Every structure is written in C-alpha cells, then in structure tokens.
Amino acid sequence: MPINNEVTTVGIDLGGTKIAAAPVQGTNLISSEIRKEATPHAENSEEILDLMARMVDEISETNKISAVGISTAGMVNEKGEMIGSCGNIPAWKGTKVKKELEARLKMPVFVENDANCAAYGEFMAGSGKNFKSMIMVTLGTGIGGGIIFNDQIWRGAHFGGGEIGHLKLHSNKTRRCTCGAWDCWEAYASGTGLNNTARTFMANPNIDNYQLMDLHKHGDEDAIEVISTWHDHVAQGIATLANSFDPEAFVIGGGLAQFINYPKLNKKIKDKVVDALKAHVNVVEGNLENDSGMIGAACLANVELANQVTV
C-alpha cells in the first residue's frame, strides 16, 4: 500500500530519556514542529500516556492529524500491547498502548517496536526507499534490527522478528552479552563491544569510543587495529544475515554508523558471503539519523490507516 501524501500523521518516538513527536505529511517530516519532553519515570504508564496525548493535542492545534504512530522499545503484539520486557521503561510493560491512547485522542493509533520503526522510516523516506527488501542494523550501545520484505515489516510469528544482535559469532565463551548468553554479535559489534575490543589493544583501559576514533583519525597504530577488528565483527554478522535473508540492501543507523568505512565494510562482507551473493552485497548508511523511528511510526500509521479504509 503506497503512502498517502495528502494525509498528515503524528510520529512519536518513546525512549528511555525522552519522548519526541512531530507531524509528518506523507513521508515529509515537518521539522519545525518537533516536540521533545523528558520521559516520565513513574510507577505506572499513565503519566507517559497522558504526556503523549498532550503532545499530540498541541500538534493538532496547527495541523489536521488523521492518525498517530508510536515507536517504542519492547515487543508489541497485534493489538498494540506491550509484551515482555520494555528495557529501561519498566512501567511500560504490559501497557495496552493502542487502546489507552485511542481512548484519549479519539483517533486511530498504531504501535510498533522502535527498531522496526527505524527500519520502516529508512525504507519509506531514507536510504532504503529504492529497495523492496532491506535489513536495518542499528549500531549503538547495543545492536537493533528491523527487517523489511515485500514492502512490509517482518515481525516474526511471536513479534520477536529482527532481534539480530543475538546472532552467535562463535562458541568460545569469550564475551558475555547483555542478554546473558555468550558471544552474541552485539557483544562484539555494538558500541559496548567496540569499547571492550579497544581495552584489549590500547594502553588506556578507560578509553571511550570517541577518543578511540580520534586516535584512529590521527594514525595511531593500535587504534587502527581496533577499528579494523571492529569492522571484521560488523562484517561477520551482516554476512550471516546476507546468507540467511539475501535482502537488496543493508542500511546502517545508530551512533556508530558515522564511523563505518563503507567501501571497506562492503569488501569484508563480500569475502565472507557465499559466492552467489558476492556481487550483490550492498551496505549503505542511513540518512534519517535520530528521526528515523519517528518518521517510520508516522509512515506506518499513514499506511495502516489506508488499509483500514480499504478493508
């Protein structure tokens, strides 16, 4: 279902520290009206829901809003309800987000996992808009993922699709992942993983990733070796995904995307995939930056609203 460029929706991106909201006409973010608020840390979800509703009401004062899309940490079922852990927003667990917000706003609300929304945003309006299938890899403190096939988010049979950070790189029990298992991709290729690699090479055990990148830029040999090793780790996970899913492209987002050498990474991946895929490796940097989840949620609301009308 194509986007309706005449419809304006609101995209809301809920994070552990802030909530961002903005109107999006079709796929075009109205950046002058972005609103940001600190995420409430209450014992229940009511304060978060009330704040979201208030932000939408403020945006509606100057825009005709048809629907709202929510990008949120945690797994979301088909009813727009939070299932399982919600990371550093514990009060959000179990919240019936769609039902509660529709009661407050009196308009359609659609809820999706934040990594899926980021992927959908890049797919609809960013670096992935010329592809039918893509996998987004978000490299931050951890690794997030979103999978798009045949123009749709692949959510998985139990809404856990796209948890790509927990691919296994090997079985040596070298690094413990935040999930509790050993040697997940996230333990090596994320920002945390990069920092752990740096500590094994660098004289300064307290070096952070920005200091590391600065040393790399100025030709420090140890830093160059660390970054090369990190590219190997990133390439290994993407090669595994390429061999498994064979998408048209991979889009890299997150805070570490800016530090990737894309020609170098593409070459490393080509060396690791099966022969039939070597000519088709295509890894690009996302271009929506921190707005990808917000735009993706708004675009999803636009498309889902149209689906409701045509049913």
Residues 295 and 280 in one domain: no
Structural domain range at position 108: 8-119+290-310
Indicate whether 125 belongs to any domain: no
Specify the pTM. 0.93
Same domain, 272 and 305: no
Q: Is there a domain that residue 104 lies in?
A: yes
Distance CA 104, CA 141 (A): 34
Judge whether 282 lies within some domain. Answer: yes
In this structure, the answer to whether residues 159 and 281 fall within a common structural domain is: yes
Q: How far apart are CA 297 and CA 239, in angstroms?
A: 28
Per-residue pLDDT for 87 more than 80?
no
**Are residue 301 and residue 221 in the same domain, yes or no?**
no
Q: Please determine, for residue 1, whether its predicted confidence score (pLDDT) is greater than 70.
A: no
Number of domains observed in the structure of the chain: 2
The pLDDT tens digits for 295-310 are: 999 999 999 998 876 5
2 within some domain: no
Range from 77-86, 104-113, 234-243 carrying the lowest mean pLDDT: 77-86
Residues 148-177, mean pLDDT to the nearest whole number: 92
The Cα–Cα gap between 223 and 229 comes to: 10
Query: Does 305 fall in a domain?
Result: yes
User: The domain spanning residue 240 has which CATH number?
Assistant: 3.30.420.40
pLDDT reading at 201 higher than 60: yes
**Per-residue pLDDT at 189:** 97
Question: What local confidence, expressed as pLDDT, does residue 311 receive?
Answer: 47
pLDDT of residue 138: 94
Question: CA-to-CA distance for 237 and 194, rounded, in angstroms?
Answer: 14
